[in-house]
Structure 1
Amino acid sequence: MASAVWLFPLTWLVVYVAVAFVDPGSRALATSGAASLLAAIAALEYGQIGTIERLAGAVPVDPEDAPRVHRTTTRVATLYDVPVPTIAVSERDAPEAMAVGLRPGNVHLVISLGTLRALSDDELEAVIAHELAHVANRDAMVMTAASVPVVLAEGIRTYLGDDDVRETFGFLTAPLVLVASATSLLGRPVTAGLSRARERAADRAAAETTGSPAALASALRTLDDRIDETPRRDLRDVSSLSSLSILPLEDDEVEKVMLGPDGDTEPSYWWHRKRLSRLSNWLFRTHPPTTSRIESLQRLEGERW
C-alpha cells in the first residue's frame, strides 16, 4: 500500500535529475514535480490510514463500544512502551488484523469482527502483541524504505513507455529501461524476503512479550482455518490488504476451473501454471508459510520448559 503511494513522487524525483541533465529547458517542469514529492510524503502519513480503513471496511470505535479489544490493546501497548493505537473495527468475517501507520504515535489497529469472534482472550492478546511488535520495531518505515528502489524502477519503466519521453531521453532510454527492469526483477523478491523476516521477528517478540508462544501458534492456526472457510469472493474483497494483515488474505494455490461441456477437461498447461504459481509464491510472498510459523512458535514453547 505504501509503495503505491510513493510511486508518483519518487518517479518525479528521478525524472527531475534525468530531465535536467538531458534538457535544461525542462528544469522548471521537473522542479514542480520535485515539489510534489514533498506534498506526497506528507499525504502518505495522513492518507494511508484512511485509505486502508476504507478498503478494510473498518471504522474507529470508542472503548465503551469494544471494551475487550481496547483493554487488551492498552495492556500490550504498555508492555511495548508504545502509544495506544486507535482501534478500528470491521464488520467483515474475513480474519483481518493489521497495524497501520508510519509513526508509533499515529497508528490504527484494524481488526475484524471475524477475528474477534474466532479468538480466545489469550489468542487475541497474542495477535495484538504481534501487530504492536511491528509498531515497536518501526516495520512500516523499514518496509517503505526497502520498497523505494522497486517503486522507482517500476515508475521509471512506466514513464519511459511514452513515445515523447523516449524521444527526449534518446540514447539513454535503453540503458534506463534495462536498469529499471533489472532492479524491479531483483528487488521484489528481496523486499518480500525482508517482509517475511519482519513477520518472524514480530512472532518472536509477541511470544516473548505475552510469555506464551503457544497462544500465538493457536491464534495463527485458528485464523488460518478461518481463511480456509471464507468464501473466495470475500477474500477477493480484502486481497489488497493481504500483505498488511497478520496472515495473507488470499489463496496460495491457483483456482482450478475445469473446462469442457461436462466440466471434465483440465485447463491447458495446468501442470506448468501450477508450478509457476508455487514459484511465484516462494519468491514474492510477504509472509512465511503459516505451518512454518506455527512450528517455530512450538519450538519456542518447548524451550520454555
Structure 2
Amino acid sequence: MNGMKTAMLLAALTALFMALGFMIGGPRGAMLAFVVAAGMNLFTYWNADKIVLRMHNAREVDAQSAPDFYTMVRDLARNAGLPMPRVYIVEDDSPNAFATGRNPQNAAVAATTGLLAMLSRDEIAAVMAHELGHVRNRDTLVMTMVATIAGAISMIANFGLFFGHGEDRPNPIVAILAVVMAPFAAMIVQMAISRTREFGADRAGAEISGNPGALASALAKIAGAAQRQPTQAAAHNPAAAQLYIVPTSVSELFSTHPATERRIAALQAMQPAAPPVRRHARSALDPLGPR
C-alpha cells in the first residue's frame, strides 16, 4: 500500500510538472517537462545520497575517527536488522539529523555537530534510530526525489513568464495562475508524503532504540533550537528542510512534518506505564533505611 501511494504521489508531481510545461510552452513545453522530469527521477535514483551529502558538506566517519558515534549507529542498525549504513557528521551548530540513500544497502545517516553536543547519549541514539527507521521503511529515496521535483517545479514556475513564444505562448492569465499555483500544489503533494512518514519513522525509532521517551525528549530539545537556527543547507535550499528529523518552518500548515507536539504525544503514549509504588515495603538498599 505504501509503495502504491508513493508511486501515485510521484506520478502526480510528474504530471504537475508536465501541466506547468504545457501552460508555459504548449505541447512542446509539456514534452520537454516530461523529459526533464524523467531525467531527474533517473539521476536522483542513482545519486540521491551524493546530492544530499554534498549539499551539507558532510564528512564521513568510521570507528577510528568517531568511535562512540559509529559504534552507536552500528548497534542500532543491528537492532533494526539493517546493513551498516555509512555514517557522516555535518559541521553545523544547528541540531539536526537526516538519512539518505536509494535503499538500505546504499544508505547513509548523518548528524550535525550541534545535535551531538546538545543531546544526551540516549537521546542521540533515539534520533539515529529514527533515521534508521526511515531507511528501514524505504523513505529516504522518495523524500529526496520529491524534494528534487518539487524544487524544479517551483524554479520553472518562477521563470514561467519568460518561456514560450509564437503560437506556443500561453494565455497570460493562465501563465500567471501556473506561476502562482504550481509551487503550492507541489508543496501539498510533498507534505502528503513526508508528514505520514515521520510518524512511521518515530514508531520505528522507538522500537529500534527501545526508548520512546528519549526520542520525545530529543524532539522537544531540537525543535526550539532548529527554529532559531536553521541548518546552513536549509538556509540556502529550503527543500532540504524536509529531510531532517525536525524541519525549520514557522507554520504547521506549510511544514513538511507534523507538529512536534503531536509527535511527542504519540511517543509518550508508547511508553509502558510505571508500576505502582508499594509503600508498605522497602528495599534493603533504601538509603533512608527502615522507618
TM-score when normalising by structure 2 = 0.70
Does the CA-based 8 Å contact 2:143-2:242 persist in structure 1?
Answer: no
Question: Which residues of 2 match residues 68-147 of structure 1 at below 5 A?
Answer: 68-143=68-143
Unaligned runs of 5+ in 1: 1-5, 253-280
Q: In structure 2, the residue corresponding to 1:282 is in which secondary structure?
A: coil
Amino acid at match of 1:65: S
Give the deviation of 1:227 after TM superposition: 3.7
CA distance in 1, matches of 2:35, 2:169: 26
Q: Give the letter aligned to residue 218 of structure 1.
A: S
Higher helix share: 1
Aligned to 1:189: 188
Instruction: Return the alpha-carbon distance in structure 2 between the equivalents of residues 238 and 155 of structure 1.
Output: 16
Indicate how the Cα distance of structure 1 residues 141 and 113 shifts in structure 2: closer, same or farther if over 3 A, else same. closer
Match of 2:218 in 1: 219
Q: What letter corresponds to residue 67 of structure 1 in structure 2?
A: P
CA distance in 1, matches of 2:55, 2:143: 20
Say which SS state the counterpart of residue 283 (structure 1) adopts: coil
Q: Which residue of 2 aligns with 1:243?
A: 242
Number of the residue aligned with 1:169: 168
Q: Measured at CA, do residues 90 and 157 of structure 1 come closer, stay the same or move farther in structure 2, by a change above 3 Å?
A: closer
CA distance in 1, matches of 2:170, 2:231: 46
TM-score, normalised relative to structure 1: 0.67
Cα distance in 1, alignment partners of residues 153 and 118 from structure 2? 41
Q: Report if the CA contact (8 A) 1:95-1:227 is conserved.
A: yes
1:215 is displaced (CA, Å) by: 1.3
Q: Residues 294 and 149 (structure 1 numbering): CA distance in 2 closer, same or farther, change over 3 Å?
A: same
- Residue 298 of structure 1 aligns with an amino acid whose one-letter code is Q
Q: SS at 2:140's partner residue?
A: helix
**Residue 14 of structure 1 pairs with residue 1 of structure 2:** no
Q: CA deviation at 1:150?
A: 5.2
In 1, the alpha carbon distance for the partners of 2:243 and 2:48 equals 12
Q: Is the 8 A contact 1:192 1:283 kept in 2?
A: no
Q: 1:120: Cα distance to partner?
A: 2.4
d(CA) in 1 for partners of 2:146, 2:47: 20
Runs of 5+ consecutive residues of structure 2 not aligned to the other structure: 1-9, 276-291
Q: Which amino acid aligns with 2:214?
A: A
1: CA distance between counterparts of 2:43 and 2:145? 16
Letter paired with 2:269: R
How well do the aligned residues superpose, as a CA RMSD in angstroms? 4.0
After TM superposition, give the deviation of residue 242 of structure 1 in Å. Answer: 2.2
1:110–1:185 Cα change, 3 Å: same
| 3-state SS, counterpart of residue 205 of structure 1 | helix
Shift of 1:108: 1.6
What's 1:286 paired with?
256
**Could you tell which deviates more after superposition, 295-304 or 57-66?**
295-304
Report the Cα distance in structure 1 between the residues aligned to 2:182 and 2:37, rounded to whole angstroms.
21
Q: Does structure 2 retain, via aligned residues, the 8 Å contact 1:123–1:216?
A: yes
Q: 1:187 to 1:100 in 2, by over 3 A?
A: same
